[in-house]
């Protein structure tokens, strides 16, 4: 759809600062007398700690302190020894390779690391569990005494009677799927600077975090301080993608030490630590059954998945539920049964990573739709169009409720229209015709091409409230504060634009301050593609309140009705009479305290949707998969800043395609991680990014004042399925060309060159050797 020019041309106001190296990151913060912290991490995946000898480390030059769980238990408030179920430092037992066991505080990082190497830890090894199905065996060792069967939780969502449908089904398809471990890999690793604050007798913390208030609450609870004694500030942040949420053990230890030593303390995670201690995600096993009629009508889906949670649950609550709630997707069906069993293993704890369980649910559904299409020899688009929920069925009750007992109701959207738009921008019919001709002529010679399609719907804008405060400052400038923090999304630009539209003035007149708990006492955080809906809603509402205040005063001063007044960047004047005005700076000075604060919590999440088409080319001899084109139609309701949404979609797709093609955390059977650097853990390079063609649709949400839905994860959710489908489709072409005996199905990720090589070998492919 055409977009109005002002929205198309919007530029991110944070970019000049960030692109010219003037951003301030936590590692840039250097305070006088600052000490540096390092952690000694477990080299055992599962063991009892027999002894920790740190005498030599304590005597090492520049070392101020070595901290273990034992000391914490003796000297610190009991709240500090554990954050939810995760200990600040391992107590008597370690449960994954990388778990923090001791902390060393020294004059600088080098001295701290040298001393850390002198610490000797003796372990008594315990049996190690790295696979969910092994972990739930009756004879498996319990990783936590409180969960003897290693099951952390079980979530179920269902509607209709699946069993009763079986006899009406012409088609029954069973499949199993395995999705591997991957993680967000933000450019900036985790980091904190904590400093004592003599004024409040508490601490100030600078950190790269998605929820400064969440962290503030965690720290105040752990240290026994009041809210005003803990100030958390998030300066520029180099990406979070879900990983920098919640409270990590290292956060608490760093703040405790700053508080105890009454000196600033800095901890910057290095990349190797990041691999073994910042949260991972994605790893799941699924057993699925699909029921359908022979004309392609979907009857029902049943899925049981096992989610590998790693060693602790603290940050992984949302993921299983998101997977089974997302799975039915944008399709109509009579029955659904989703069950997720979350299982402890001796691996890095799992926490949200862009999509937080949704990409997996979408992957399963979309792959099953492809199976159905193959089974019935229909085009993948045909089965989708037959089953997509239509605009006439909106609002559509999905048949179950979420974790807050809110009914899952798709509020608006034209799902078939979104798919048709993607077919349109990708010239889908022509692509299929060309593919068929190439197959007939056999012209491609061991290079095959495939096309994959996927559709998605995902909840956005949930997670409770968010607040905003806008003030007219002395001098007449608008200052806007929100509790929400940004990690690169462009909140400064977007919130300024939302406020500017409410005031009817250019955004330049508004300064935005984000991520500082000193400004707003309450806040939740940036996750679940919620900020535009929730914080944006609070910005809109508080701005309208301030506008009302301004117009009320101006109306009385200028003796005209408020409806006859116009607000500009520096004044309010009577419509058509610019000289009859009052300057904002005079208003601000004569009426101190002009401003408004509002907290907004939507009644229910709003549902964004999308459709992707991916094209790939596979060189069968080199096992090289190249994504040649990528087409997206994305509908996140009313667009605030289209170029920023485009950036979100591109980045989101990139995370999705890298899950399919590159990234994999590998742990061997003994629990040792094998991928702890970018030599082994592959991430996409600029050359791996396909050209994107993007179309926006706007189905405004009826649930919030701006009509907006979230955009931050919409690129990722359907990308796993679209890329996998394209690869499988290319392999079909190889089969039709007679190059392989049967078609390998993509039920297991990632599709690394090695895995592709094995699949081709198993299917009788004979490489021609070097060309
Ligand atoms: N936007 C818009 N109009 C809409 C919706 C969104 O213009 N209708 C634009 C806005 O510029 C907004 C951005 O899209 O700032 C993202 O909006 P939203 O979907 O509300 O998501 P959040 O701001 O809550 O960000 C969270 C989301 C998530 S969950 C992950 S994970 C993620 C993502 O954002 N992490 C990111 N995108 C990221 N982008 C960067 N650069 N870094 C991360 O860590």
Question: pLDDT (tens digit, 9 = 90+) per residue, 103-161?
Answer: 999 999 999 999 999 999 999 999 999 999 999 999 999 999 989 999 999 999 999 99
Residue 246 is classified by DSSP as S
3-state secondary structure of 366: helix
**CB-ligand 1 contact for 353 (6 Å cutoff):** no
Could you report the per-residue pLDDT of 640-680, keeping only the tens digit for each? 999 999 999 999 999 999 999 999 999 999 999 999 999 99
Could you report the per-residue pLDDT of 585-626, keeping only the tens digit for each? 999 999 999 999 999 999 999 999 999 999 999 999 999 999
Q: Is a pLDDT exceeding 90 seen at residue 743?
A: no
Q: Is a pLDDT exceeding 50 seen at residue 363?
A: yes
With bands split at pLDDT 50, 70 and 90, how would you rate the model's confidence at 81? low
Pair of tokens at residue 21: 């190296």
Residue 569 has, within 13 A of its CA and on its CB side, a CA count of: 7
Dist. CA 356 → ligand 1 center (Å)? 14
Cα–Cα distance for residue pair 721/713, rounded to 1 Å: 14
**CB-ligand 1 contact for 708 (6 Å cutoff):** yes
Structural contact between residues 223 and 77, judged by C-beta atoms closer than 8 angstroms: yes
Cα–Cα distance for residue pair 602/404, rounded to 1 Å: 13
pLDDT of residue 1: 40
Dist. CA 647 → ligand 1 center (Å)? 9
Write the residue with the smallest CA distance to atom 13 of ligand 1. Answer: 489
With bands split at pLDDT 50, 70 and 90, how would you rate the model's confidence at 195? very high
Ligand 1 pocket test target in 10, 19, 507, 529 with most atoms within 8 Å of CB: 529
**CB-ligand 1 contact for 351 (6 Å cutoff):** no
Dist. CA 458 → ligand 1 center (Å)? 14
With bands split at pLDDT 50, 70 and 90, how would you rate the model's confidence at 380? very high
Dist. CA 412 → ligand 1 center (Å)? 20
pLDDT of residue 383: 98
Give the nearest ligand 1 atom to 533 CA: 20
Q: Are strands 510-514 and 565-567 parallel, antiparallel or unpaired?
A: unpaired
**CB-ligand 1 contact for 531 (6 Å cutoff):** yes
User: How far is CA 673 from each of CA 46, 187, 242, 710, rounded to the nearest angstrom?
Assistant: 13, 21, 22, 35
Ligand 1 pocket test target in 236, 238, 458, 532 with most atoms within 8 Å of CB: 532
pLDDT of residue 443: 63
In this structure, of 17-21, 79-83, 268-272, 680-684, the range with the lowest mean pLDDT score is: 79-83
Dist. CA 714 → ligand 1 center (Å)? 9
**CB-ligand 1 contact for 243 (6 Å cutoff):** no
**CB-ligand 1 contact for 526 (6 Å cutoff):** yes
Ligand 1 pocket test target in 23, 654, 711, 716 with most atoms within 8 Å of CB: 711
With bands split at pLDDT 50, 70 and 90, how would you rate the model's confidence at 445? confident
Dist. CA 526 → ligand 1 center (Å)? 8
Cα–Cα distance for residue pair 116/19, rounded to 1 Å: 37
Q: How much is the average pLDDT of 83-88?
A: 71
Dist. CA 241 → ligand 1 center (Å)? 9
**CB-ligand 1 contact for 660 (6 Å cutoff):** no
Give the nearest ligand 1 atom to 641 CA: 7
pLDDT of residue 442: 72
Write the residue with the smallest CA distance to atom 14 of ligand 1. Answer: 645
**CB-ligand 1 contact for 241 (6 Å cutoff):** yes
Q: Which residues contact 284 (CB under 8 A, 6 or more apart)?
A: 177, 178, 179, 305, 306, 307, 308, 323, 360
pLDDT of residue 474: 92
Write the residue with the smallest CA distance to atom 21 of ligand 1. Answer: 529
Is residue 74 within a helix (H) or strand (E), and if so which, with residue range? helix 69-75
**CB-ligand 1 contact for 534 (6 Å cutoff):** no
Angle at 422 between CA 419 and CA 424, to 5 degrees: 110
pLDDT of residue 80: 59
Give the nearest ligand 1 atom to 536 CA: 20
**CB-ligand 1 contact for 322 (6 Å cutoff):** no
Could you report the per-residue pLDDT of 386-426, keeping only the tens digit for each? 999 999 999 999 999 998 889 999 999 999 999 999 999 99
Q: Compute the Cα dihedral for 220, 225, 226, 229 and give only its sign.
A: negative
pLDDT of residue 4: 43
Cα–Cα distance for residue pair 587/547, rounded to 1 Å: 12
With bands split at pLDDT 50, 70 and 90, how would you rate the model's confidence at 316? low
**605 exposed, middle or buried (CB, 10 Å; 0-12, 13-18, 19+)?**
buried
Cα–Cα distance for residue pair 541/537, rounded to 1 Å: 6
Q: Kindly report the number of other CB atoms within 10 A of residue 345's CB atom.
A: 28
Dist. CA 756 → ligand 1 center (Å)? 34
**CB-ligand 1 contact for 494 (6 Å cutoff):** yes
Angle at 428 between CA 424 and CA 432, to 5 degrees: 165
Q: How much is the average pLDDT of 347-363?
A: 97
3-state secondary structure of 450: strand
Dist. CA 644 → ligand 1 center (Å)? 8
**CB-ligand 1 contact for 426 (6 Å cutoff):** no
With bands split at pLDDT 50, 70 and 90, how would you rate the model's confidence at 11? confident
**CB-ligand 1 contact for 645 (6 Å cutoff):** yes
Cα–Cα distance for residue pair 53/120, rounded to 1 Å: 5
Structural contact between residues 258 and 141, judged by C-beta atoms closer than 8 angstroms: no
> 405-412: long-range contacts (C-beta < 8 A, 24 or more apart)?
406/603, 406/604, 406/605, 407/604, 408/325, 408/459, 408/605, 409/604, 410/330, 410/457, 410/607, 411/604, 411/606, 411/607, 411/701, 411/702, 411/703, 412/606, 412/607, 412/637, 412/699, 412/700, 412/701, 412/702
CA 76 to chain CA centroid, Å, is 34
Q: Compute the Cα dihedral for 479, 485, 488, 494 and give only its sign.
A: negative
Write the residue with the smallest CA distance to atom 39 of ligand 1. Answer: 489
- Checking phi first, is residue 595 left (phi over 0); if not, alpha (psi -120 to 50) or beta? left
How many residues appear in the chain? 771
Q: How much is the average pLDDT of 335-356?
A: 97
Dist. CA 597 → ligand 1 center (Å)? 23
pLDDT of residue 3: 41
pLDDT of residue 46: 98
Give the nearest ligand 1 atom to 486 CA: 23
Ligand 1 pocket test target in 23, 489, 496 with most atoms within 8 Å of CB: 489
Q: Kindly report the number of other CB atoms within 10 A of residue 439's CB atom.
A: 18
With bands split at pLDDT 50, 70 and 90, how would you rate the model's confidence at 6? low
Q: How much is the average pLDDT of 70-93?
A: 76
- pLDDT above 70 covers a percentage of the chain that reads 97
Dist. CA 683 → ligand 1 center (Å)? 21
**CB-ligand 1 contact for 234 (6 Å cutoff):** no
Could you report the per-residue pLDDT of 447-471, keeping only the tens digit for each? 999 999 999 999 999 999 999 999 9
């Amino acid at each position: 759809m055409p977009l109005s020019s002002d929205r198309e041309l919007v530029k991110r106001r944070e970019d000049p600062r960030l692109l010219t190296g003037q951003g301030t990151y936590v590692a840039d913060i250097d305070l006088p007398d600052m000490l540096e912290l390092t952690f000694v991490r477990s080299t055992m995946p599962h063991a009892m700690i027999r002894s920790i000898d740190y005498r030599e480390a304590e005597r090492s030059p520049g070392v101020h302190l070595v901290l273990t769980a034992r000391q914490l238990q003796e000297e610190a408030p009991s709240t500090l020894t554990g954050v939810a179920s995760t200990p600040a430092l391992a107590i008597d037992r370690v449960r994954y390779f990388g778990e923090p066991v001791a902390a060393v505080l020294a004059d600088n990082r080098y001295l701290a690391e040298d001393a850390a190497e002198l610490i000797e830890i003796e372990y008594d090894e315990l049996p190690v569990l790295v696979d969910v199905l092994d972990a739930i065996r009756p004879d498996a060792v319990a990783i936590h005494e409180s969960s003897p069967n290693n099951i952390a939780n079980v979530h179920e969502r269902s509607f209709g009677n699946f069993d009763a449908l079986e006899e009406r089904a012409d088609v029954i398809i069973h499949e199993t799927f395995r999705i591997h471990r991957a993680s967000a890999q933000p450019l900036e690793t985790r980091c904190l600077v904590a400093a004592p604050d003599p004024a409040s007798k508490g601490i100030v913390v600078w950190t790269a975090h998605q929820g400064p208030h969440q962290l503030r609450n965690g720290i105040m609870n752990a240290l026994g301080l009041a809210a005003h004694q803990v100030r958390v500030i998030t300066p520029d942040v180099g990406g979070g993608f879900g990983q920098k949420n919640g409270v990590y053990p290292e956060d608490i230890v760093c703040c405790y030490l700053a508080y105890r030593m009454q000196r600033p303390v800095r901890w910057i995670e290095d990349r190797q630590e990041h691999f073994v201690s910042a949260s991972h995600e994605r790893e799941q096993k699924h057993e699925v059954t699909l029921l359908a009629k022979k004309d392609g009508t979907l009857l029902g889906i049943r899925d049981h998945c096992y989610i590998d949670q790693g060693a602790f649950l603290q940050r992984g609550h949302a993921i299983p539920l998101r997977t089974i709630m997302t799975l039915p997707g944008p399709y109509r069906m009579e029955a659904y049964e989703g069950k997720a069993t979350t299982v402890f293993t001796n691996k890095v704890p799992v926490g949200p990573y862009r999509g937080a369980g949704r990409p997996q649910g979408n992957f399963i559904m979309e792959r099953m739709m492809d199976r159905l299409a193959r089974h019935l020899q229909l085009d993948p688009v045909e089965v989708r169009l037959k089953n997509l929920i239509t605009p006439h069925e909106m609002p559509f009750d999905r048949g179950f409720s979420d974790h807050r007992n809110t009914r899952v109701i798709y509020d608006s959207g034209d799902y078939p229209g979104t798919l048709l738009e993607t077919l349109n921008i990708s010239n889908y019919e022509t692509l299929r015709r060309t593919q068929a001709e190439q197959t007939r002529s056999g012209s491609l010679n061991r290079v095959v091409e495939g096309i994959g399609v996927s559709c998605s719907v995902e909840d956005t804008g949930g997670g409770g409230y968010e607040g905003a405060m806008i003030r007219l400052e002395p001098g007449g400038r608008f200052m806007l504060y929100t509790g929400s923090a940004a990690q690169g999304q462009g909140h400064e630009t977007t919130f300024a634009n939302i406020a500017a539209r409410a005031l009817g003035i250019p955004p330049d007149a508004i300064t935005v301050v984000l991520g500082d708990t000193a400004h707003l006492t309450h806040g939740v955080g940036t996750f679940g593609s919620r900020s535009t809906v929730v914080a944006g809603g609070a910005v809109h509402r508080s701005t309208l309140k301030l506008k009302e205040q301004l117009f009320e005063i101006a109306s009385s001063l200028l003796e005209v009705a408020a409806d006859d007044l116009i607000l500009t960047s520096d004044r309010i004047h009577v419509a058509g009479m610019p000289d009859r005005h009052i300057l904002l700076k005079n208003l601000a000075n004569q009426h101190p305290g002009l401003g408004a604060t509002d907290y907004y919590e939507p009644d229910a999440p709003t549902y964004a949707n999308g459709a992707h088409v991916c094209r790939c080319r596979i060189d069968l001899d080199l096992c090289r998969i190249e994504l040649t084109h990528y087409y997206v139609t994305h509908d996140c309701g009313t667009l605030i800043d289209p170029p920023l949404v485009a950036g979100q979609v591109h980045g989101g797709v990139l995370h999705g395609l890298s899950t399919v093609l590159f990234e994999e955390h590998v742990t061997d059977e003994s629990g040792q991680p094998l991928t702890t650097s970018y030599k082994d853990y592959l991430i996409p390079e600029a050359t791996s990014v396909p050209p994107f063609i993007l179309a926006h649709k706007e189905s405004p949400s009826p649930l919030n004042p701006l009509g907006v839905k979230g955009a931050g994860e919409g690129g990722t959710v359907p990308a796993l399925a679209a890329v996998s489908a394209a690869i499988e489709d290319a392999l079909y072409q190889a089969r039709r060309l007679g190059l392989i005996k049967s078609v390998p199905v993509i039920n297991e990720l990632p599709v690394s060159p090695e895995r592709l090589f094995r699949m081709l070998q198993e299917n009788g492919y004979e490489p021609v050797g070097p060309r």
